[in-house]
Structure 1
Amino acid sequence: MTIASALAVYFVIWWTVLFAVLPFGVRSQADAGEVTQGTEPGAPAMPGLLRKAAITSVIAAIVFGIVWYVWANFDL
């Protein structure tokens, strides 16, 4: 696997994991009881994107490690 293809695979894995992680722990403004005027009540009160990006990076690195191991050690 070349560096370019490894980066491409990691990029795809990272985005896939991000979309899986985004809904965890989200409370809407309506649930929190503090709806900001002019916004949708279903919008997240505190999305925590930096924390989710860090979690996504760790999970994506683990998944990429598994993909790389299978790619390198098995004739697929």
Structure 2
Amino acid sequence: MWWGSALAIYFLFWFLALFLVLPFSARTSVEAGEALVPGQAESAPHRFEAGRIALRTTIVATVMFGLFYLNYVFGWITSDMLDYWN
């Protein structure tokens, strides 16, 4: 696999992992026991920790890409296995 293709696929996995990780770290001000700021939505996160979310996302994306690359190298699941019409 060309390194540019691998990098592009990794970034696809990274953004997929971002959307998987985001809901798990969100705590609202009500859940944190803090008062709402006037005009703040009740569902808004109390404190947005971008570094922590990026670290978790990178870990999940690296695991996902690692599994993808191992499947690419060893051929555990191939496109022929998924062809149900032939």
TM-score between the two structures when normalised by the length of structure 2: 0.76
* Aligned counterparts of 1:40 and 1:69: Cα–Cα separation in 2: 44
Q: Aligned partner of 2:64: which letter? A: V
Match of 2:41 in 1: 40
Larger Rg: 2
**Deviation per CA, 1:34-59, whole angstroms, max 9, x where unpaired?**
21223222110012221011011011
Gaps of 5+ in 1: none
Most deviating of 35-44 and 8-17? 35-44
- Is the Cα–Cα contact under 8 Å of residues 25 and 53 in structure 2 kept in the other structure? no
Greater mean deviation of Cα atoms: 26-35 or 42-51: 26-35
Q: Following TM superposition, where does structure 1 have runs of at least 4 consecutive aligned residues deviating by more than 6 angstroms?
A: none
Q: Percent same amino acid at aligned positions?
A: 33
Matched residue type, 1:51: R
Instruction: Show the 5 A alignment for 1:1-76.
Output: 1-32=1-32, 33-74=34-75, 76=78
Give the superposition deviation at 1:73: 2.0
Note the C-alpha offset of 1:8: 1.0
The number of residues matched between the two structures is 76
Structure 1 position 29, deviation (Å): 2.3
